[in-house]
Amino acid sequence: MKDRIKEICKNIEKEKNIKILFAVENGSRAWRMDSKDSDYDVRFVFVRPLNEYIQIDKPGEVIDAAFDKEGNPCAVEGSFIDISGFDVFKYVKMLSSSNPTTIEWLMSDIVYYGKQNEVFKNFAINNFNKISLYHHYKSMCRNNYLKYLKTGNIVTYKKYLYAYRGLINAKWVVHKKTVPPIIFSDALKDMKNIIPDSVLNKLSEIIDLKSQGKEKDIIQNIVVMDQYIESFLKDDSEAPTEKSHATLNDLNDELRKIILN
């Protein structure tokens, strides 16, 4: 599949007259929470020829595409390969504000095309805003919990994993003070004495069930898991308060180098 995605990236470059700087996986496969029928969530950063930026009408900042298992274009709904790319200007602007999605693209170890930019990656690792990351991941936990689990609308193993990925990553930012690992099980291993063993053990069990293709099974609410999420959402006492004071010189210099070279 990697070769097929690489070929799709080459075709997008030709069709859109762009250069893809890097394309990575940023979904359940990157987090190692995929199942047998998981699709591919490909995310990329691209740059246009210089003259396309120097015009009255601003060029599009986002490119979206979807493909079936054979690599043929199809509707997004039900697609097997979902692809989305950001123009480098949009991407760097978001990265400069510690947008967690842009940081995750740099942390993914599944690279389909090109190479992640080291200057961008170093900036993300050394200058990320703890406040921004914490509240993003806490919001991810809250949204998944309230929309699917607390309401009882769609109680599945998958929804528990998505809610808890937000919780674990938020806790990681607070206690480890670094960017959370992209591989979810790596984060779980280092959460002992921070997250109750009963919760960690249940999460490991759910990851195994998901790998067997049971992530969409409708289940009853897991009381111990719900209680821990509830207590986490109600308590903001550990939320980071220190602000980031990063300068953007390195990002600007690298952006100029990419555009002008």
Q: For 67-96, what is each residue's pLDDT tens digit?
A: 999 889 999 988 999 999 999 999 999 999
Query: d(Cα 130, Cα 137) in Å, to the nearest integer?
Result: 11
Sign of the Cα pseudo-torsion (25, 26, 31, 33, in order): negative
Least confident segment among 108-117, 121-130, 214-223: 214-223
pLDDT of residue 215: 66
Q: Does residue 116 carry a pLDDT above 90? A: yes
Query: d(Cα 91, Cα 86) in Å, to the nearest integer?
Result: 6
Assigned CATH class of 2-128+246-260:
alpha beta
Least confident segment among 80-94, 102-116, 126-140, 215-229: 215-229
Q: Does residue 229 carry a pLDDT above 70? A: yes
- Characterise 113 by phi-psi region: left (phi > 0), alpha (psi -120 to 50), beta (else): beta
Q: Residues 7, 12, 18, CA angle at the centre, nearest 5°?
A: 125
Burial of 59 (0-12, 13-18, 19+ CB in 10 A): middle
pLDDT category, 154, cuts 50, 70, 90? confident
Q: Note the pTM of the prediction, 2 decimals.
A: 0.93
